[in-house]
Amino acid sequence: MEPKQLQISPFLIFFLVHSVQVGVGVLGFQRVVMKSAGNDAWIAVILAGIAIHITIWLMYAIMNRHKQDLVRIQNELFGKWIGGFFNTIWIIYWLLVAIIVLRSYLEIVQVWVFPLINIFVITFIFIILVYYCVSGGFRIVVGICFLGVIIPFYIYLTFLYPIEYANFRNLLPVFNHSGGEIIIASRDVSLSYLGFSVIFMAYPYIKNPKKSQKWAHFGNLLTTCIYLFIIIISICYFNEKQISHHIWATLSLWQIIEMPIVERFEYIGITSWLLIILPNICLSIWASTKALHEVYHIRQKLGLLIILFILLISTMLINSREHIDMVNKYMSYLGQALLYIYVPLLCILSFVIMKFRRKKS
């Protein structure tokens, strides 16, 4: 465990989990989910939330048993070389999360706000901000998560505007799609939730870490409720054919908002969303640099510079919608394999290996 002056209170895990789950996915997940489940997409959102609750429970079962972070757990169970291989995969995954979140957000800014924006300049400025936050240490990153949840929370109230034009009959008939289609849709929506695996690296920084588990579940519950609220509003405002033409359906919902002093609210929404994706990126970068330090013994600030340089180059190379979709697809496959296959297997292996070692000793 880390020194007490570097640790955080258990309740702050609520903000950590929620902030890392809410990113650019909220702005356009409706089209992907409704493609498979149609008007039953809200059921898929609930199932995805339940699956993540189970995964969080398995993660805490592993961490509470070993009382260490993921890197040390895998080294303890598999040894230096095999453990190092798995740790490197996690580092790559967290880095991919940061890359796809940043590049997707910049694409939205480019399409909706500033078509002629210089991607290199805005990425470089953003990376300086991320460096300032992450180099301050884990407590600073968690503080950014807290602000990233509290300050822009008003945005969710704007989704009440479309209710005036909503047709709630679009939700009927319930269970209009097969169980397989709903499961596929729940898999698709869970891609927006996947960043919560950073808990694996945050565990040693939590005071009384066992008490933080309930707050992790509360954070995921809030995320699920927000996704559920937005998908229900989207189903009732659009129909299935209309939603297929909206890449960013959430931004399209903002287009109907009319205020005396704001003609196009989506500009304010996209700008405010920066406060939401900043902790998302900072946490993923912090987790990857922390793991890089423990696996390869690279100084954490040097590792941070290396990771941010890769982030800058990757953002420049991913320069089209096809490239973004491709990276997003591979990142989502890797994330699902790690969280829904590897984590349950790791939990079982941890239990068996530790029990065998106790008997042997």
Which residue type, as a one-letter code, is found at position 262? V
Which segments of the chain have a pLDDT < 70? none
Domain residues for the domain of 233 are 4-360
DSSP string, 159-207: GGGGGGG--GGGGPSTT-S-HHHHHHHHHHHGGGGGGGGGHHHHGGGBS
Summarize pLDDT for 287-303 with one digit per residue, the tens: 999 999 999 999 999 99
DSSP string, 44-99: HHHHHHHHHHHHHHHHHHHHHHH-S-HHHHHHHHH-HHHHHHHHHHHHHHHHHHHH
Identify the pLDDT of residue 210: 92
Summarize pLDDT for 30-82 with one digit per residue, the tens: 888 898 888 999 999 999 999 999 999 999 999 999 999 999 999 999 988 99
* Ramachandran bin of 68, using left for φ above 0, alpha for ψ from -120 to 50, beta for the remaining angles: beta
Which residue type, as a one-letter code, is found at position 167? N
Identify the pLDDT of residue 340: 92
The tokens describing 229, both together, are 């609220």
Say if CB 76 and CB 211 are below 8 A apart: no
Identify the pLDDT of residue 228: 94
User: Residue written as tokens 């933080």?
Assistant: 212
Tally of domains in the chain: 1
For residues 335 and 330, give the distance between their C-alpha atoms in angstroms, rounded to a whole number: 9
CATH number at residue 355: 1.20.1740.10
